[in-house]
């Protein structure tokens, strides 16, 4: 379409240009004649060199001009002798009103004499005061402009056809190059199933840059989806396992107790065991629920100013008795300026889990709890002298259900505590860090943004 329009425009330009070029010699000649015969405000038709041998008005000129001079009333005053020689009746009147300069879009004006086609201009004659004196009608044999127009149109048409063909061919080739891989991509994506997400999509043949980028982004997305699905599968399997174990124990204990009559002491002990298992189950379910709440991005949590030292002091209380019972020295250094913005219930969960771990994995020695303000941050540090964490296990301890095999066996727990702590610290824009040496102890550090305390301007004192 665009090529067709361009071709048409080219043809029109050629047409206008040919017309202009054809009219130019007639216009020039008319000006010349007008200059010669308008003299002293009168038409001096004899003043022109009608019989000069070089002149185009002569019979034998190879490209003759036919000149007629008319007065202001349109009466023919004189015409060149070569008109009579044409041998056919020649128009004796003005063929159209005189025009000093034809507009460029004007087609050539023509008329036929016998077997000849002539084109012509009608040129006005004015005196110095712009008074109309008459007109010149100057004609010339038409040397085949119509054929020229046709040939030009044909040439342009041919070029258009060749260019259009080439363009279509190029378009077909390039669209096949782009659409082919996209088609393969669509088919491969449609054939994807949840259990084959780990297999990257492959496409045969060369790829253009954009499709290659799209393919790599899609494969990246598939890999991440696969990882997420995998984690979800592992999580469900682990959670089911963790739930099933205490339930089996509960059931076993109840069945054992009911098998035959028991002493009141035995029943009490069984119920005590059942209660412990139920507590364990409750903690597990609570942790699972809390994790799922934290995983949902739309869960609303209301942040309020929290005095971290007060919060830690409160949470420490139940641990003091446990530590004392195990002969572990539990000390705390709490800076009262450690304020942060947070969700108090979640921050309590952090303190509880970290302290619980310190106690669980410290057979003897001491636990030091520190809360301090450090610049724009508040830091909670729990340092123990326990079993420590092997370096290869450190990157995994915040994973859900992960427990260090060498140290966690026989210790109560289900591997969700630190996953929960990490999630809560992230929610508070904080950083969770560990430093540990096997057999020496572990330090857990939680760094949170400090609450910016507005210091009031000093007030003047009344004297």
Using CB under 6 A, list all residues that contact ligand ADP.
Answer: 353, 357-358, 361, 384, 386-389, 397, 402-404, 407-408, 413-419, 442
CB of 403 to ligand ADP, least distance (A): 3
Minimum CB distance to ligand ADP, residue 373 (Å): 24
- Nearest alpha carbon to residue 287 among 429, 414, 426: 414
What is the DSSP pairing of strand 366-374 with strand 329-334? Answer: parallel
Shortest gap between Cβ of 253 and ligand ADP (angstroms)? 22
Q: CA 378 → CA 387, 416, 420, 453, distances in Å?
A: 27, 25, 20, 13
Q: Inter-axis angle of helices 209-259 and 145-190, to 10 degrees?
A: 20
Residue written as tokens 């059931």? Answer: 251
Task: Give least dist CB 359 to ligand ADP, A.
Answer: 9
Is the four-CA dihedral 249, 253, 254, 256 of positive or negative sign? positive
Q: Give the nearer residue to ligand ADP in terms of CB position, either 33 or 419.
A: 419
Secondary structure of residue 208 in the 3-state scheme: coil
CB nearer to ligand ADP: give 30 or 397: 397
Identify which of residues 307 and 384 has a Cβ nearer to ligand ADP in the complex. 384
Least Å from the CB of residue 413 to ligand ADP: 3
Q: What is the closest distance, in whole angstroms, from the C-beta atom of residue 288 to ligand ADP in the complex? A: 13
**Cα three-residue angle 426-399-434, rounded to 5 degrees:** 65
In the bound state with ligand ADP, the residue whose beta carbon lies nearer, of 136 and 389, is 389
Query: Would you mind telling me the total number of residues written for the chain in this entry?
Result: 463
Residue 361: φ, ψ to 5°: -105, 20
Nearer to ligand ADP, 7 or 415 (CB): 415
- The minimum distance between CB 425 and ligand ADP, in angstroms, equals 13
Cα 196 to Cα 188, 218, 222, 225, 226, distances in angstroms: 11, 14, 9, 11, 8
If the CB atoms of residues 79 and 442 are measured against ligand ADP, the closer one turns out to be 442
Nearer to ligand ADP, 183 or 396 (CB): 396
The C-alpha atoms of residue 452 and residue 463 are separated, in whole angstroms, by: 33
């Amino acid at each position: 379409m665009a090529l067709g329009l361009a071709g048409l425009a080219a043809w029109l330009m050629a047409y206008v240009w040919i017309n202009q070029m054809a009219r130019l010699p007639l216009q020039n000649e008319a000006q010349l004649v007008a200059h010669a015969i308008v003299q002293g405000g009168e038409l001096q038709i004899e003043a022109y060199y009608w019989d000069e041998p070089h002149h185009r008005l002569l019979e034998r000129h190879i490209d003759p001009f036919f000149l007629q001079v008319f007065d202001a009333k349109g009466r023919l005053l004189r015409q060149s002798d070569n008109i009579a020689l044409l041998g056919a009746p020649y128009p004796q009147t003005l063929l159209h009103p005189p025009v000093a300069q034809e507009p460029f879009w004007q087609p050539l004006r023509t008329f036929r004499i016998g077997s000849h086609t002539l084109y012509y201009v009608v040129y006005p004659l004015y005196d110095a005061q712009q008074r109309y004196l008459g007109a010149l009608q100057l004609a010339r044999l038409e040397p085949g402009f119509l054929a020229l127009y046709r040939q030009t149109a044909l040439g342009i048409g041919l070029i258009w056809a060749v260019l259009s063909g080439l363009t279509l061919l190029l378009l077909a080739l390039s669209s096949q190059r782009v659409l082919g891989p996209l088609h393969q991509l669509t088919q491969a994506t449609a054939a994807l199933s949840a259990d084959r997400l780990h297999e990257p999509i492959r496409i045969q043949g060369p790829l253009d840059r954009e499709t290659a980028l799209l393919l790599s982004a899609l494969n990246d997305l598939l890999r991440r989806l696969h990882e997420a699905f995998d984690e979800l599968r592992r999580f469900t399997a682990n959670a089911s396992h963790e739930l099933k174990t205490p339930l089996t124990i509960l059931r076993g204990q109840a069945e054992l107790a009911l098998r035959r009559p028991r002493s009141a002491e035995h029943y009490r002990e069984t119920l005590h065991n059942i209660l412990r298992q139920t507590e364990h189950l409750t903690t597990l379910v609570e942790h699972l629920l809390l994790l799922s709440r934290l995983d949902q991005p739309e869960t609303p949590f209301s942040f309020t100013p929290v005095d971290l030292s007060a919060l830690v002091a409160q949470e420490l209380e139940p641990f003091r008795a446990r530590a004392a019972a195990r002969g572990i020295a539990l000390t705390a250094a709490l800076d009262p300026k450690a304020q942060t913005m947070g969700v108090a219930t979640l921050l309590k969960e952090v303190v509880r889990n970290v302290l619980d771990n310190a106690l669980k994995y410290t057979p003897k020695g001491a636990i030091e709890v520190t809360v301090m303000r450090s610049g724009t941050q508040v830091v909670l540090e729990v340092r123990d002298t326990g079993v420590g964490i092997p370096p290869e296990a450190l990157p995994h301890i915040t994973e859900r259900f992960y427990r260090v095999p060498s140290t966690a066996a026989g210790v109560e727990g289900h591997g969700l505590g630190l996953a929960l702590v990490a999630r809560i610290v992230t929610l508070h824009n904080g950083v969770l860090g560990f430093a540990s040496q096997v057999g020496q102890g572990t330090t857990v550090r939680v760094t949170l943004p400090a609450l910016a305390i507005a210091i009031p301007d000093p007030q003047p004192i009344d004297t």
